[in-house]
Amino acid sequence: MSDKSMTGKWSEINDYEMFEKAMHLAKGTYQKNLLNGLENLSGSTLAGSAKKEYGYKYYVSRKHLLARLSSNKIIWFVKTVEHGARILVIGEPAFHFSNTTEETV
């Protein structure tokens, strides 16, 4: 179950145990802000020189964080919501994905 009151608008937590482990793997404020939903995965929340001069370094930082999460068996995925915004979700999805069009009972 996710609780949006605990995170910003750019993340959703479905498993708080995994979230705590993820926070221990985060290096620096930016990566912690990604997990807490204060920064987004696209980098569009960056401004000024952070965006213009260091945008690639922040991109690499995001990729390294996600790789650390995966290598430590922390389940994460990206959910697309209203207006195409991408949300980082920590934990199992609240529903099961299916790539078939058949309905099951």
In this predicted structure, what is the pLDDT of residue 16?
A: 96
In this predicted structure, what is the pLDDT of residue 57?
A: 96
Q: pLDDT class for 98, splitting at 50, 70, 90?
A: low
The average confidence (pLDDT) of the chain is 87
Distance from the Cα of residue 72 to its chain's centroid: 15
* Structural domain spans, the chain: 4-90
From residue 10, how far is each of 53, 59, 71, 99, 102 by CA, in Å? 23, 16, 22, 26, 32
* pTM of model > 0.75: yes
Neighbours of 81 (CB within 10 A): 10
| Residue 72 per-residue DSSP state | T
Helix (H) or strand (E) holding 20: helix 16-25
